[in-house]
Structure 1
Amino acid sequence: MTINCKGSLIDLSTPKVMGILNLTPDSFYDGGKYKNESQILAQTEKILNEGATFIDVGAYSSRPGAKHISEQEEQERILPIVELLIQTFPNILLSIDTFRSVIAKECIAAGASIINDISAGNMDQNMIQCVGKLKVPYIMMHMRGTPQTMKSEDQYNNMIHEINIYFAEKIAEARKYGINDIIIDPGFGFAKNISQNFELLKNLALLQVHDTPILSGVSRKSMIYKTLDVLPADALNGTTVLNTIALQNGSSILRVHDVKEAIECIKLTDSVK
């Protein structure tokens, strides 16, 4: 299983790591941590040196109840950083965490490689058609509502079945617009409570029916730190445990804050296989 990033085929038969670079001031774990260019470049270099294949850059906080920001503010946050990273690390594979087609188009034009959309086109009706024209890989996540409303959208009759229907419909739409490389993200924590997150992780292999790579993003999330009664800063060990389960259940990409530990997780899990 491969995806094409800027003309290079990335083989996902061995799972890969996507390192998180948040440009938001209010992300649940590392919001506001990287305030200037030197800090951003240092963190990016660290992520790359530790073995990340992709770096996911986001400027719109999607934590539950996060403040909504305008398209202009998101653009002003993210575009100069994308340009800086491409200039400094020409071979970097940047994933752009946005649900807005205008931001997607501008960042790809600046040299980014992947679009990572938390809404799978639901928050911008132009997004899927836009990505099809851009000819880049598309990560589509399962979510209901918006980051501002999703906590109240966690009622399901059969969650796994409903998620699979959602992806079947979204994948069909993406194919219609010529998107070849599709990655699905089940959306841990997005319109799902803690028990539903664990149910999803337990049944993650059932999402393989779509024959697309699966991205799992559980890094330091509340399903870990609330279950263990710790702070997000103390949730690395729990993250590694759940990343291991995600890999065993078919994940091809781990989206994480801690790249070194995720790489070790992949190596050890692969050795067991």
Structure 2
Amino acid sequence: MSALRRIGADLRSMAYFEPKRDILSLYLPKVDFRAAAYLKQELLARGGDAVVNRDVIACAAETSDVLLLGTPGQVRSLVKKLGALPCWGLPDIQSALSGALEGLDKTSWTFDFAGGRSLTLGKKTAVMGILNLTPDSFYEGSRIAGEEELLRRAAAMTKGGADILDLGAESTRPGSEPLPPEEEMERLIPAIRLLRKEFPDTVISADTWKGRVAGEAVNAGADIINDISGLAFDPELPRTAAESGAALVLSHIQGTPRDMQKNPKYDDTVKDILEYFDERLKAAEAAGIDRERIIIDPGIGFGKGASDNLKILRNLEAFRIFGRPVMVGHSRKAFIGRTLGLDDPADRLEGTLALTALCAAKGAAVVRVHDVPANARVINMMAAVREAEL
């Protein structure tokens, strides 16, 4: 804004200039070659461009993947023009691009909970603090034993900048086995009740994929069901989530915790996960879950190789096309160790903080982390830079 003042521009014009600073990259698979050529021509005419197969110009390719490159205004202008030609699959492309633009435009979400609690996401990346009630979580430093330690850590996290406290009573580390619901509830439910009593205004999340456990957790005071399974492991969970009114973290996973890291494979990591969320969001709505209550999580480390996790993080903005807040759980995970040559999760703080900064820069709504104060400081610094005047 200060640059506009120096120039002497009408400050009201900022609303017109701001979108021109951003360049969208939108990927369209298997487009009719005529549509691909048309998209490139129309975007070029608007000052943008499109990457297409080299054989499109010679009409030697029946289809081509297309990468659209343009400002939001250029892409919106293209979308309007697509309605003029009802052929070559262009109406479907128009619909898909319209949905993606609508999703990308949404940058703020508010969740209201029982007891007058609320959670607003989007202005600044929120911090979800991890409270592990398990004796076998992959990071030994996160394990909690007893009520006194739970209260001490929860207090430190809320003071250190946690917007959400996430309690889990079943380890989902690679190779882990599921707990019986009774054992999981024995650990989880008293802990939620205790934190709800001691921290009445704090948003609490229950990390579980079991419908029965989730229902009891919400009754005990949890506001969010953090489900690693994408509603796929327990047929009771969709109904429970719908009836409870809790917010839902809908996550991606390939396989189960028992086998998810046994050679996971993707044709195209980001594309495959986007298609998964398109299907899972529709399934959630069909089960009666309000889309406005959903947060999506691409599932870092859940059925992914190290390169898959890095691709997800590099392309994190892509997951915003659904119009839902995006959560990332990268804290101290194995791919950081593989990238930096650090076998011990205790040595992975710097890698975690670097990725938290990346997530904040790319518009992640929530990061789920072990070390709340350090991550919160990174996010606050990133926010200060972003909010500095031009």
Q: Which of the five TM-score ranges fits, normalised by the shorter chain?
A: over 0.9
Taking the aligned partners of 1:171 and 1:248, their CA distance within structure 2 comes to 25
Tell me which of the two structures has the higher relative contact order, counting C-alpha pairs closer than 8 angstroms and 6 or more residues apart: 1
Aligned partners of 2:274 and 2:319 also within 8 Å: yes
Deviation track 1:184-243 (CA, whole Å, cap 9, x = no partner) reads: 000001110111111111111111111100001110111112221222111111100011
Q: TM-score, normalised by structure 1?
A: 0.96
2:350 corresponding residue in structure 1: 237
Q: Secondary structure at the match of 2:200?
A: coil
Partner amino acid, structure 2, of 1:123: F
User: 1:71, CA displacement in angstroms?
Assistant: 1.0
Taking the aligned partners of 1:63 and 1:146, their CA distance within structure 2 comes to 10
2:313 corresponding residue in structure 1: 201
- The gaps in structure 1 that reach 5 residues or longer are none
User: 1:34, CA displacement in angstroms?
Assistant: 1.5
Taking the aligned partners of 2:180 and 2:295, their CA distance within structure 1 comes to 27
User: 1:32, CA displacement in angstroms?
Assistant: 7.4
Taking the aligned partners of 1:165 and 1:186, their CA distance within structure 2 comes to 12
1:39 corresponding residue in structure 2: 149
Pair 1:215 & 2:327 matched: yes
2:289 corresponding residue in structure 1: 178
Matches within 5 A, 1:36-115: 36-115=146-225
2:3 corresponding residue in structure 1: none
Taking the aligned partners of 1:30 and 1:183, their CA distance within structure 2 comes to 28
Q: TM-score, normalised by structure 2?
A: 0.68
Partner amino acid, structure 2, of 1:5: F
Taking the aligned partners of 1:192 and 1:211, their CA distance within structure 2 comes to 24
Taking the aligned partners of 1:32 and 1:260, their CA distance within structure 2 comes to 14
1:269 corresponding residue in structure 2: 382
Matches within 5 A, 1:138-153: 138-152=248-262
Partner amino acid, structure 2, of 1:249: K
Taking the aligned partners of 2:384 and 2:195, their CA distance within structure 1 comes to 34
Structure (1 or 2) with the larger CA radius of gyration: 2
Taking the aligned partners of 1:44 and 1:74, their CA distance within structure 2 comes to 20
Taking the aligned partners of 2:369 and 2:150, their CA distance within structure 1 comes to 16
* Range with greater deviation from structure 2 (196-205 or 172-181): 172-181
Aligned partners of 1:247 and 1:266 also within 8 Å: yes
Taking the aligned partners of 2:212 and 2:236, their CA distance within structure 1 comes to 9
Aligned partners of 2:131 and 2:143 also within 8 Å: no
Superposed CA RMSD:
1.4
1:4 corresponding residue in structure 2: 112
Q: Secondary structure at the match of 2:213?
A: helix
Q: Secondary structure at the match of 1:191?
A: coil
- The gaps in structure 2 that reach 5 residues or longer are 1-107
Taking the aligned partners of 1:37 and 1:159, their CA distance within structure 2 comes to 41
Q: Secondary structure at the match of 2:119?
A: strand
**Structure 1 segments (4+ residues) deviating >6 Å:** none
